[in-house]
Amino acid sequence: MGFTSLIFLGFFPIVFIIYLLIPSGGRALWLLAASYLFCMSFGVKYALVLLISTLGTWAAGLALERLKNHSSRKWLLAAAILLHVFLLCFFKYDSRNPVLPVGISFYTFQAIGYLADILQGRAKAERNIIYFGLFQAFFPKLVQGPIERSHDLLEQLRSLPSVNLPDPDRIREGGLLLLWGLFQKLMIADRLAIPVNAVYRQFGAFGGVEILLATVLYAFQIYCDFAGYTSMARGIARICGIELTENFRRPYLAISVRDFWRRWHISLSSWLRDYVYIPLGGSRRGLLRKYVNVMLTFVVSGIWHGTGFHFLLWGCMHGAAQLLETGFQKLPKWLRRIGVLCFLTASWMVFRVNSLGDLKGMLRILITDPYLRDLNGMELGGLEWLLVAVGILLVIGKDLLNERGISIRAWLALRRWPLRALIYTALLSGIIIFGVYGGAYDTSQFLYTQF
């Protein structure tokens, strides 16, 4: 039951209507029940894995807070982390498990961060199992995050009984976020998946031009797919009176790879900084140790994303780029942006391939056959290419405006309701008419679901 499925189209309105009608003190319990129902729609056993992780983390958090001996607390934290890592590795890296439990990569990191915060005194253990269960399972963020911090999300969940609902402003802003996310996913990402998959599936039938074009298109596919999900998640949560973390901030306008990671998948990059890089020593133990810590952090990032060696290589590329880019800081910003985009495009090829063998084959074609061979083989017609171009230009235009401090949502909020209604209707109509649908495409599947 992904956000773009017809089932969810019926599921969320029912959940929200009941959410408004029940006594305010029961809101958290109702959202928890809805979240587990959402999880079970992917498979009942996945809800069981989530429940085991949640109960184990909740109990460990309470024990950490009660224990006074620092050494015992550290051993308890280590045991809890090992349990979560074992579950993650068992389901993610064991070939006998063909399907990854929904959201396990995200709620595992969230649980580890929660326990580490208790040990360090940055957070207190949550005693209410309903609030903590919802903190882990809240359905808008379950599948692909963002990875929330306890001091932020738990505080909001405790305040749910006092939230004024329904809130017309929240519904309008959340609805617009939801529409923009649907546009990015169905109009752009799912359409870009067609030529990208065609080329990467049988790259030997294409020339270097198609491989390069498919790689550039993949950069926009993964951005619109993941940013689209996050936008929808934030919109759904906002309608319910909850604010989720902003996970993307115009990442392709970054002036360095380090800046890129401040803008891309912000909740993951900040998690890696706070719970991997800094505990390893950060930059406090000399230059050499800093370099080692950066590389180890991005090795963890690569492994988290997948089992193939190409994911490990991708992580190492990003770690090495951050160590080497300090020599280019005096270059003009526009030139640094171009350099970062070129690097990101190359790294996305490494990320997207099925194996290092495929990567070697595609690089060989780029060097020895840098020509256009079979554009029709990319499986898009003239209108489809036009829609791709328009969609990408709209995303770029929005990011450029936002980078200059111009908010389209803020601008829309100041318009009269007939104009707003016209714009919303046009956006929704475009999604319905031009979105990618049909049996050939799994529109409920988001790319980051597999990581």
pLDDT digits (tens, 9 = 90+) for 253-287: 999 999 999 999 999 999 999 999 999 988 888 88
74 — pLDDT class (breaks 50, 70, 90): confident
Model confidence at 428: pLDDT above 60: yes
CA distance 215 to 348: 7
Contact 98, 197 (CB under 8 A): no
Contact 67, 73 (CB under 8 A): yes
pTM score over 0.75: yes
Give the model's pLDDT for residue 213.
96
Give the model's pLDDT for residue 435.
77
Model confidence at 240: pLDDT above 70: yes
Give the model's pLDDT for residue 98.
66
Q: Looking at beta carbons, which pairs linking 210-215 to residues 24 or more positions away fall under 8 Å?
A: 210/372, 210/373, 210/374, 210/375, 210/377, 210/378, 211/362, 211/365, 211/366, 212/366, 213/378, 214/378, 215/345, 215/348, 215/349, 215/352
Give the model's pLDDT for residue 444.
43
User: Residue range 405-426: average pLDDT?
Assistant: 83
Give the model's pLDDT for residue 426.
83
CA distance 87 to 417: 50
Give the model's pLDDT for residue 443.
47
Q: Does residue 379 or residue 140 have the better pLDDT?
A: 140
Residue 379, token pair as written in the block: 């499986």
Model confidence at 45: pLDDT above 70: yes
Q: Which residues, in sequence order, are CB contacts of 24 under 8 Å at separation 6+?
A: 160, 161, 162, 163
Give the model's pLDDT for residue 445.
60
Contact 112, 71 (CB under 8 A): no
Q: Around 322, how many Cα atoms within 13 Å sit in the side-chain half-sphere?
A: 21
Q: Which residues, in sequence order, are CB contacts of 215 under 8 Å at separation 6+?
A: 345, 348, 349, 352
Q: In terms of C-beta density within 10 A (0-12 exposed, 13-18 middle, 19 or more buried), how is residue 388 classed?
A: buried
User: Residue range 407-411: average pLDDT?
Assistant: 83
CA distance 4 to 7: 9
Give the closest residue to 290 by CA, choosing from 254, 340, 326. Answer: 326
